Amino acid sequence: MVGANWSDEAGVTMKDHLTPATIAEIRRQYRMDKLCVFIRYCVRIWWTRDIIKLTATNAQQVAHYRKVFNKCTLFYYAQEAQRPNPGWNTAYLPDEPGAAVYKAWYQIQDDQPNIDWDRYFAYPLQLAASGPSTVSELVKMHRKICQRATEYHARALQIKKGPWTDINEVHNPRNYMLYPLCSALLVVQDNDVDPRMPCRTTPSLIRPNGGVALDRYSQAQTVVLVRTGDEEDLSKPIDFSALAHKALPLARSDATTHDALRVSIYDAVNFIAELQKNEEVKNPEFYYNPRIDTRKNPYLTLSKSTEPNLRDRLWYPASEDEYVAELLTIGKYAETEDLIKSAKERARRLEAGDEDWDDLERNKKYGNMRI
């Protein structure tokens, strides 16, 4: 680990000289930084910039186990959910669904989900005009993607030396698995509620500051949940009865041969997250991974390192406790002075009753959509 050679340094800790309120703010800063990194990598890039367009023939290309594995489901954007972009004679995907999924996912897990090794609610796929369009075609494609990802993963496990040996096990297949729930259930968004388009039947989805009110949007935007029939590895079959009172008109004549249900994005995320929680309780050995993923943890910069490259001067603590303990060591890290200073100032403003004390919360945004 970078920074291990500093462990014997006789640094002086600031811990005994700071108030509990300041320490609490340092911890909150850590969690907020981790949250922002998660938004940048798992949400902004996956859901808006790096999304794959699924055609009728490219299932093999999209079925990389790092995309499909460690996800509760796959999220398909149908053609009807894509917004036209006349200037480019193509369609683009709106930001709001990914942001709404993210907020609901975080809320149901008390803002502390396990995001190690790309764990998340879903991986998104954009359906091309030539791709599957009916529910039956989509289920067939979904099964093929899961099968190809499993085959790819099995081959990767047989490789004695792989690319993960040089990059902190980022690609190590031991850290990835196909969740049984992902095989059993898919999500498709087949319509688009544009928050900036006036609608008489929906309360305003725009905040006074111009951003999108994600809580209201996630209730207005609907998706369809579809059981694929591959439920033999689940602890028990999926039961939609708990969502019956929240179900909306299905409005899909092609879904009559499948068990499908239309609900809001908010209800879909909560339902699937609860299913996954139950699976992990029933089969903890399957989901347990002792290896720690530090890629999304806030880093510290060694101030006295002689390494010429910045990357070699960065250290990623494995936990919040380790981060705080190391940060408070005087003279060891470049960030110590500024982070302690800002934490002290927030604690002071909070104690003084300043309504505008929380600059961390003000900056916690997904684009211009407050999360």
Give tens-digit pLDDT for 157-201.
877 665 544 444 556 788 889 999 999 999 999 998 888 776 645
Query: Tens digit of pLDDT for each residue in 199-215?
Result: 645 667 887 767 778 88
- pLDDT for 198 equals 66
Q: Is the pLDDT of residue 38 over 70?
A: no
Give the number of other Cβ atoms within 10 Å of residue 206's Cβ: 15
Q: Is the pLDDT of residue 275 over 90?
A: yes
| pLDDT band at residue 7 under the 50/70/90 scheme | very low
Query: Tens digit of pLDDT for each residue in 297-310?
Result: 777 777 766 666 66
Helix then strand then coil, in percent of the chain rounded to 5, is 45, 15, 40
Structure tokens at 351: 């104690």
Quick one: average pLDDT of 22-44? 74
Query: Tens digit of pLDDT for each residue in 70-118?
Result: 999 999 998 888 887 766 667 777 888 888 888 888 888 876 777 778 8
Q: Of 47-61, 94-108, 323-337, give the range with the top mean pLDDT.
A: 94-108
| pLDDT band at residue 368 under the 50/70/90 scheme | very low
Measured between alpha carbons, how far is residue 226 from residues 122, 218, 274, 342 in Å?
Answer: 14, 19, 16, 48
Sort 259 into a burial class: Cβ within 10 Å, 0-12 / 13-18 / 19+. middle
Quick one: average pLDDT of 138-167? 77
- pLDDT for 88 equals 64
pLDDT averaged over the chain?
78
- The Cβ-side half-sphere exposure at 282, using a 13 Å CA radius, reads 12
**Rounded distance between C-alpha atoms, residue 292 and residue 283, angstroms:** 20
Q: Is the pLDDT of residue 232 over 90?
A: yes
| pLDDT band at residue 233 under the 50/70/90 scheme | very high
Q: Is the pLDDT of residue 10 over 50?
A: no
Phi-psi map region of 301: left, alpha, beta (phi>0 left; psi -120 to 50 alpha): beta
